[in-house]
Amino acid sequence: MTDFKDREKGEEAKFAFDAENSFKIAARRNRLLGHWAAEKMGLDAEETEAYAKAVVQADFEEAGDEDVIRKLLGDLTTANVDIGEADVRAALEEKAIEARRQLMGES
């Protein structure tokens, strides 16, 4: 019986660890994506940091990535940056890989 309980505790710990890592990767990805978009919009260093934080915050509006994509597309369009949804989605994937590598490198 203790083997089962030990296994259950191990699975719960792994689930919590995986969930925390997923959150950290998404937050890092969104920050990197904010920096990417800020560069496209020609923002200065201070504005870039504020914008990156706003992109991270935007991800809390709804589940999934659509809220972030919508924010970026809207902001880039408002700033007269000629970029499409496919480009934003490609950057999102690229930054997700970069975020994962950065976090794995810190471990």
| pLDDT value at residue 107 | 61
Using the predicted structure, report yes or no on whether residue 38 has a pLDDT greater than 90: yes
pLDDT band of 59, cuts 50, 70, 90: confident
- The first and second tokens of residue 101, run together, are 């590598």
Q: Please give the model's pTM, rounded to 2 decimal places.
A: 0.82
Average pLDDT over residues 59-75: 90
| pLDDT value at residue 31 | 97
For the chain, where are the alpha helices, taking DSSP H only? Answer: 2-41, 45-58, 66-78, 85-106
Total number of domains constituting the chain? 1
CATH code of 76's domain: 1.10.790.20
| pLDDT value at residue 1 | 58
Compute how many other C-beta atoms are within 10 angstroms of the C-beta atom of residue 47: 12
